[in-house]
Every structure is written in structure tokens, then in C-alpha cells.
Amino acid sequence: MDEIKLLDVVALTEELLTEDLRRGAVGTVVEIWKDGVFEVEFSDNTGKAYAFVAVRPDQLMKLHFRKDEAA
């Protein structure tokens, strides 16, 4: 499995109902906490952030945009 790093683009693998975020929502990792939790920023199409959420690694999937990076 690909290690998730700072500024990686990720997608949620499950819904976060308390945050009103659906499975598949795409965000950017903006902080990595000591306990292995990631702070992810979710933005709209204009770049305006609408949510900052602490997410466990098992709730995320790293996204790839270049063929040579994909598994």
C-alpha cells in the first residue's frame, strides 16, 4: 500500500456523517499528526475550503494522476 504523505490528494473510503462528507470525497492532506491521523482539507471547485477533518489512514485512499505513479 502507498504511504500517504503531506500534500497528497486522497479520497474518503467511507462516509463521515458527522462532517457531512460522502464516500469518495476528494481532499488534500495538510497535516500529519503524531498518532498517525491525517488532517485533510476538502475544497470546492473554486478552491474554497469547506471542511478540515482529522481522518484515520484506513479511511483514506491515495489518488494517482500519472500513469507511472499508479499501482
pLDDT digits (tens, 9 = 90+) for 13-32: 999 999 999 999 999 999 99
C-alpha cell at 45: 471547485
Using alpha carbons, list the distances in angstroms from residue 23 to 34, 35, 41: 25, 23, 15
Taking alpha carbons only, the member of 51, 48, 30 closest to residue 39 is 30
Q: What is the domain-level CATH number for residue 45? A: 2.30.30
Q: Which of 28, 36, 33, 39 is nearest to 58 (CA)?
A: 36
Q: What residues contact residue 31 under an 8 Å CB cut-off, 6+ apart?
A: 6, 38, 39
State how many domains the chain has: 1
Say if 2 falls within a structural domain: no
Over residues 21-63, the pLDDT tens digits come to 999 999 999 999 988 999 999 999 999 999 999 999 999 999 9
Range of the domain at 13: 9-69
